[in-house]
Amino acid sequence: MGTANRNISLRAMRVFCVAAERESFRETAELLFLTSSAVSHQIKQLETDLGIKLFERTPRSLHLTADGTALYDDIYPLIGDFDLVITQHTRTQQSRSLRISVQPFFASELFVPRLSKFVAQHPDIDISIETSDESPEKHPGTADVSIRIFRTPPDALACERLFPLRLLPAGTPDLYDTIRIRAGKIISPFPLVIHESRPKAWHQWERSSRIKLPDHANAIRLDSMIAVARAAERGLGAALVPKQLSDSWIESCSLVQLFDHELVTKHAYYLVCRKEDRDKEEVKLFRGWVLQNFADDG
């Protein structure tokens, strides 16, 4: 192998290609974040190394010589091939991203506490988590994957059932101690905390439990499950909270289960994505982790 031109740098060839296209050392310098003098020095050194003149220079113009044109025609495709090879060999090291949408209560009580294991297993995946209580039965268009509540998941999406939505009646220990029942009816004060997205849930629980609620029970209505749970924790009333998401509250005695009977709804949590996204590597990895950690949870 010849060694006469081994000192010619790839950087100098890149500078030459840009200068050949722009026919301006000033514009070349701006594009490459160099000084005009640095560009001029690179070109002069390249001409010296090759032993040919690449540009005709005048005070107001810069043009390729015949030798310069021939070099550009030969070297430009090679620079492009080199960049492609480098991209192919570094692709596996590039960061991947995954946009996940979950509802706030699911995120805080079940999802985020377990997420560190997925992050540790896949540190090359950049994760963005969006939390919203809006449109529980809709996969957000900005997300790659979501965990949402559906009664019947849409056929247009790739959906996998995780676990049913079971609501248990919960309140403070003080509220529990005051409950009095006579002939199957609560006769003590029993204020209700109601999630606006499930305004009939307490009446459904009443029918399925065969425990009658007080007539004209006071009620407070809130628009998020986190707010519902917090209101119950602060003693504002009894709330129906998702069983699988309330373990930490029950274990800490922030809330207690007021009755054994749970309301088994016709809804369930699903892992959801667009069908065209389900075979993406990062989505497949996340799917496997979610099914292992949350499917049939509780």
96-102/263-274 β-pairing: unpaired
Thinking of the domain 96-161+273-294, which architecture would CATH place it in? 3-Layer(aba) Sandwich (3.40)
Q: What is the pLDDT of residue 6?
A: 56
Thinking of the domain 10-91, which architecture would CATH place it in? Orthogonal Bundle (1.10)
Does the pTM surpass 0.85? The reply is no
Pick among 3.40.228.10, 3.40.190.10, 3.40.50.300, 3.20.20.70: CATH of 165-266: 3.40.190.10
The Cα-based distances of 20 to 11, 30, 155, 225, 295 in angstroms read 14, 14, 55, 63, 60
The reply to whether 10-91 and 96-161+273-294 are identical in fold is: no
Q: What is the pLDDT of residue 3?
A: 44
Q: What is the pLDDT of residue 12?
A: 86
Q: What is the pLDDT of residue 66?
A: 93
144 by DSSP, 3-state: which?
Answer: coil
**DSSP assigned state of 261:** -
Q: What is the pLDDT of residue 88?
A: 62
**DSSP letters spanning 259-285:** -S--EEEEEEEEEEEEGGGTTSHHHHH
Q: For the chain, what are the domain ranges?
A: 10-91, 96-161+273-294, 165-266
Q: How far apart are CA 106 and CA 176, in angstroms?
A: 25
End-to-end, the C-alpha distance of the chain in Å comes to 69
Q: Which residues pair with 239 in a beta bridge?
A: 170, 193
The long-range contacts involving 34-43, CB below 8 angstroms and separated by at least 24 positions, are 39/15, 42/11, 42/12, 42/15, 42/16, 43/12, 43/15, 43/16, 43/19
Per-residue confidence in pLDDT tens, the chain, 298 aa = 444 455 677 888 888 988 888 888 888 888 777 788 888 888 998 888 898 999 998 878 889 999 989 998 888 888 777 767 766 665 444 568 899 999 888 988 889 889 999 999 998 898 998 887 655 667 887 889 999 999 888 888 999 999 999 999 999 999 999 999 999 999 999 999 999 989 999 999 999 999 999 998 899 999 889 999 999 999 999 999 999 889 889 989 999 999 999 999 999 999 999 999 888 999 999 999 999 998 875 4
